[in-house]
Amino acid sequence: MIAVGSPAPDFTLRDQDGEEVSLEGYRGSKVLLVFYPMDFSPTCSDQLSVYQEVKPQLTEKGVELVGISVDHSYAHKAFQEKLGIDTTLLADFEPKGEVARAYGSYLDLGFANRTLVLVDEEGKVAWTYESPNPGEFPGANVIFDALA
């Protein structure tokens, strides 16, 4: 797991619409990177649905929400539409899991663990959380406790 206080590794990944998104583009804002295993699993669906419900409160606190998994951008688009969410979903697809590895979230199972990384306005890691296993997602309360 990446250490709090360290510079957040920059990246450029494709979003659900095939557009390139870079961490550098969020400079000046707080961004919560939500690493999750894969689209369409029941637990991932629940996690991103819960986060969508609290997204307005996160926005009020000046936090942008960005999901990252090893799925392709086409899968992200279908997943986003199925859930009815507008959260940006980034494809850590090829090389598979490169960004998750840089943040210490990648598992040898072939996907990222459920890891939250809050990057501050200056591009430093302000807070992290890693689930004990990929079957448990951190509730919204974990995020709000960190922001308090």
Q: Which domains does the chain have, with CATH numbers?
A: 12-147 (3.40.30.10)
Alpha-carbon span 20 to 34, nearest angstrom: 17
Q: List, for residues 7-53, the tens digit of each pLDDT value.
A: 999 999 999 999 999 999 999 999 999 999 999 999 999 999 999 99
Type of residue at 91: A
Q: What Å distances lie between residue 141 and 41, 82, 137, 138, CA to CA? A: 22, 25, 11, 8
pTM: 0.96
Q: Which residues form the catalytic set?
A: 44
Question: In sequence order, which ranges of 61-148 are alpha helices (DSSP H)?
Answer: 73-83, 98-102, 140-147
Question: Per the structure block, which two tokens stand in for 26?
Answer: 């969020």
Q: What's the CA angle centered on 34, arms 20 and 47, to 5 degrees?
A: 120
Q: Are 52 and 85 in contact (CB under 8 A)?
A: yes
Alpha-carbon span 142 to 122, nearest angstrom: 23
Model confidence at 147, pLDDT cuts 50, 70, 90, reads very high
Question: In sequence order, which ranges of 1-148 are alpha helices (DSSP H)?
Answer: 42-60, 73-83, 98-102, 140-147
Residue 118 has φ and ψ, to the nearest 5°, of -95, 120
Model confidence at 122, pLDDT cuts 50, 70, 90, reads very high
